[in-house]
Amino acid sequence: MTSSDSRSAEREAAKAITYRAAESERDKSAVIKGEFRSDTVFEVVGSEGGFTIRPTRLDPPVHKIFPDDEPEADETPEGKRRFVALDSEIVCGYVDTEYEPWNRRLIIADIEVVGPYRGWGIGRTLMSHAIDWARECGAGHVWLEVTNINAPAIRAYQRMGFTFCGLDTSLYSGTESEAETALYMSRFLG
């Protein structure tokens, strides 16, 4: 099978994916172990007037598997919503959002796509559902946090219209990600 045939088969398979707001307990409790591979780090370099973020090649590339988060409460508080991507009844991706009315911000708390489904446009479609939800809520912008070593995600967010809006060099202190920097990205809604 040529790479063109492979891409065509993936596009056809992606058409079978359905999307919806999480309804069932299975939708709401599905967990996809976050991981990525990257040959680039977005290095934060301090300067006299602030900082610069520059992509720097990694040799060897890094493979990161995120540690387990603390368990969530069973109930979904007001303003939180999950959208799921389903292949038949199997959750193959999701995006968790939280709306903050005080500053009209929709936070992307987590977005995950199962490894074999990556590259099918599922993440982009999930983000589109989150942005539609942001507009329904009256949000002025969508905001997220990403580690500086997750170059594949950063590039995807940039293609989706997100730009850097800040960073935190201490967010991961005392965690398995201590050497990394939290980068914040936002997308203003017109």
Residue closest to 129 by CA, chosen among 99, 159, 163, 85: 85
20 bridge partner residues: 84
Q: What is the spatial distance between Cα 9 and Cα 14, in angstroms, rounded to a whole number?
A: 9
Question: What domains sit in the chain, N to C, each tagged with a CATH number?
Answer: 17-188 (3.40.630.30)
Q: What is the DSSP letter of 11?
A: H
Q: What is the spatial distance between Cα 64 and Cα 80, in angstroms, rounded to a whole number?
A: 27
Inter-residue contact 185 to 165 (CB < 8 Å): yes
Alpha carbon 116 to chain centroid, angstroms: 16
Q: Which helix (H) or strand (E) holds 109?
A: strand 105-113
pLDDT of residue 3: 61
pLDDT of residue 71: 46
Centre a 10 Å sphere on the Cβ of residue 187 and count the other Cβ atoms it contains: 20
Structure tokens at 50: 């602030």
Q: What is the spatial distance between Cα 97 and Cα 185, in angstroms, rounded to a whole number?
A: 15
pTM, full prediction:
0.83
**Helices 151-159 and 122-137, packing angle to 10 deg:** 60
Provide the residue-wise pLDDT of the chain in tens; the chain has 190 residues. 566 655 555 556 667 899 999 988 988 888 888 889 999 999 988 878 888 899 999 999 999 988 776 445 444 567 899 999 999 989 999 999 999 999 999 999 999 999 999 999 999 999 999 999 999 999 999 999 999 999 999 999 999 999 999 999 999 999 999 999 999 999 999 8
Return all residues near 100 (Cβ < 8 A) that are at least 6 apart. 79, 106, 107
Beta strands, E only, 16-89 = 17-21, 35-47, 50-65, 80-87
pLDDT of residue 33: 85
Residue closest to 38 by CA, chosen among 67, 62, 19: 62
Residue closest to 124 by CA, chosen among 90, 159, 91: 159
